């Protein structure tokens, strides 16, 4: 695990502990996500936070003004601490680590489902139930469409990939035929 990941995980655990103590786990997650999206989608905002010649107090003021009254004090304190320590670029990694810490503590997992066709709400619910029963966790489904799969779907939960796509099956069949021909 890289030093950056270790640092992000420490900050994530700290903000999670505070959010859990204040019963604001979901709110903190949402606000961290909004901050990360703002960094990614708002070039001037991102440039101000990354500028080495702007004092930390000014950067904190920019964040406070941009999100006036909408950030939890704990989230604003986290961002302020990251800025003061010159680690504002770590915010996306802290957010990802927060998702992992929260998921582990709450017994949930994120399933990233890619299918050849868009999934209906009923299909997403069925996937969540099936993998929830398999893993003993509450599953949140995040879906995407990739027509190159031809049919079926792939499901990634953590480091595990469940490949039920037609293209995956064809690839496995091709490899099996090539190895038996040798």
Q: Are residues 74 and 138 in the same domain?
A: no
Q: Are residues 71 and 121 in the same domain?
A: no
Last residue of a domain, one of 75, 103, 131: 103
Q: Are residues 88 and 116 in the same domain?
A: no
Q: Are residues 93 and 138 in the same domain?
A: no
Q: Tokens 């039920």 label which residue?
A: 164
Both structure tokens of 125: 């619910």
Q: Are residues 16 and 29 in the same domain?
A: yes
Q: Are residues 40 and 81 in the same domain?
A: yes
The enclosing H or E element of 129 equals helix 121-135
Domain of residue 87, residue span: 3-103
Closest CA to 31 of 83, 81, 66: 66
Q: Are residues 136 and 154 in the same domain?
A: yes
What confidence score (pLDDT) does residue 2 get? 67
Q: Is 0.75 surpassed by the pTM of this model?
A: no
Question: Virtual CA dihedral for 59, 65, 69, 70, nearest 10 degrees?
Answer: -70
Q: What angle do CA 152, 156, 157 make, to 5 degrees?
A: 135
Q: Are residues 90 and 112 in the same domain?
A: no
pLDDT tens, 135-175? 999 999 999 999 888 888 999 998 899 988 888 888 888 88
Query: Cβ neighbours of residue 158 under 8 Å, at least 6 residues apart?
Result: 109
Closest CA to 27 of 70, 63, 68, 65: 70
pLDDT tens, 22-70? 999 999 999 999 999 999 999 998 999 999 999 999 999 999 998 888 8
Q: Are residues 78 and 137 in the same domain?
A: no
């Amino acid at each position: 695990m890289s030093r950056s990941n270790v640092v992000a995980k420490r900050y994530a655990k700290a903000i999670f502990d505070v959010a859990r103590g204040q019963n604001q786990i979901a709110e903190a997650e949402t606000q961290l996500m909004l901050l990360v999206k703002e960094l990614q989608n708002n070039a001037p905002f991102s440039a101000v936070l990354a500028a080495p010649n702007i004092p930390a107090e000014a950067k904190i003021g920019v964040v406070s003004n941009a999100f006036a009254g909408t950030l939890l004090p704990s989230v604003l304190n986290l961002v302020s601490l990251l800025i003061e320590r010159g680690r504002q670029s770590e915010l996306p990694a802290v957010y990802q680590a927060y998702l992992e810490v929260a998921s582990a503590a709450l017994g949930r997992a994120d399933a990233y489902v890619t299918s050849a066709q868009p999934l209906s709400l009923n299909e997403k619910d069925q996937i969540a139930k099936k993998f929830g029963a398999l893993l003993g966790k509450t599953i949140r489904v995040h879906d995407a469409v990739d027509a190159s799969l031809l049919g079926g779907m792939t499901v990634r939960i953590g480091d595990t990939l469940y490949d039920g796509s037609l293209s995956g099956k064809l690839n496995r069949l091709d490899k099996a035929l090539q190895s038996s021909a040798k």
